[in-house]
Amino acid sequence: MRRLFKLFIVSALVFGPSLHSAQAETLAMPQKAQTNAESYSIDLPGRGMTMAEVEKRFGPPGKKMGEVGTPPITRWIYEDFIVYFEYQYVIHAVATPPAP
């Protein structure tokens, strides 16, 4: 009898939760207007480009921030993106969000 009771308890714990049907609400999200992806596409400097290559291809930056830390990290700020350099090489480029 005790063995049957243990079997019942284990079965209830294992299979009990699956006997209840799952319920959820459906949340309707407003759809954004479809946009042309190319209008938001931006050309960014690639990793490994030198400062000279970036300046030749994209022109002079709006602002050049000084070196910070070791190794020296330099930041160039353009109108649409920011470029991060380690020594004279690009390590990262980030597009800045458009102004609202």
Tokens of 22: 């799952």
61 assigned to some structural domain:
yes
Please write the tens of the pLDDT for every residue from 43-96: 999 999 999 999 999 999 999 999 999 999 999 999 999 999 999 999 999 998
Which carries the bigger pLDDT value, residue 6 or residue 70?
A: 70
75 assigned to some structural domain:
yes
Span 25-44, average pLDDT:
67
CA distance 13 to 29: 37
CA distance 56 to 80: 17
29 assigned to some structural domain:
no
Which pLDDT score, from 0 to 100, does residue 17 have? Answer: 59
Amino acid code (one letter) for 44:
L
86 assigned to some structural domain:
yes
Name the pairing type of β-strands 81-86 and 73-77: antiparallel
In 3-state terms, what secondary structure has residue 13?
Answer: helix
53 assigned to some structural domain:
yes
pTM: 0.60
Q: How many domains does the chain have?
A: 1
Distances (CA, A) of 20 to 12, 13, 53, 56: 12, 13, 64, 66
**Would you say residue 37 has pLDDT above 60?**
no
Domain range enclosing 74: 46-100
